[in-house]
Amino acid sequence: MTVGDQPLSKIIVLISGSGSNLQSFIDACEEGSVDGKIMAVISNRPGVKGLDRAAAANIPNIVVDHRAFESREEFDQYLAEIINGFTPDLIVLAGFMRILTDGFVNQFVGKLINIHPSLLPSYPGLNTHQRAIEAGDSVAGATVHFVTPELDGGPAILQAQVPILSTDSSVELAARVLIEEHKIYPLVAQWYCQGRIIMDKGIVFHDSVEVEKSGLLFSSESEH
């Protein structure tokens, strides 16, 4: 489990649904464009397509049904115990639709990343694409960010933009944004695996250079 002389980074992916971003990670790891190995996929919902994607790739897949726990804290504590059993280097939230407690986040802060379907800090939360259309915005996009206790408030790492067309529905816009998500999320993971991004005192550094609060902007040059 090495690339060159370096061991592959151990990655855990948390999901709640179809796992399209998970699939982009599976493909990137298999192709070698992410120097990591997905140790396990964990879902808080049974029977979702993302679990099938993991099984098809021979990745251990685990269900931790949040409905089986009396409190959010108990669920997060059990989830953290499972994750710690894999001693991961990186934890990826890929459509994980649970608000994590401060206690959980603080355990893994600095190695916990998420992707949000808006150009943060605009439109945290849900229904991001419809909100951008209704606001008359000319662009939409997605943001990869480190996770902190503030919901969708962790420092941005990388953003991708797409134009909002006058004919766009939220579904059409979401589909175009998702294409970009599948590019930027594995790319950020690769930067992390290479030691090229870190968060220190709430500030992101890329190749030792401080990143603006809005994050870097994805382009073809970003991939190098």
- Taking only the tens place, the pLDDT of each residue in 183-202 is 999 999 999 999 999 999 99
How many other CB atoms are there within 10 angstroms of residue 101's CB atom?
Answer: 19
Distance CA 144, CA 27 (A): 18
pTM of the entire predicted model: 0.95
**Nearest partner of 190 among 9, 30, 53, 13, judged by Cα:** 9
What domains are there in the chain, each with its CATH number?
A: 1-108 (3.40.50.170), 115-224 (3.40.50.170)
Residues with a catalytic annotation lie at 116
The pLDDT of residue 82 is above 70: yes
Distance in angstroms between the alpha carbons of the first and the last residue of the chain? 24
The pLDDT of residue 6 is above 90: no
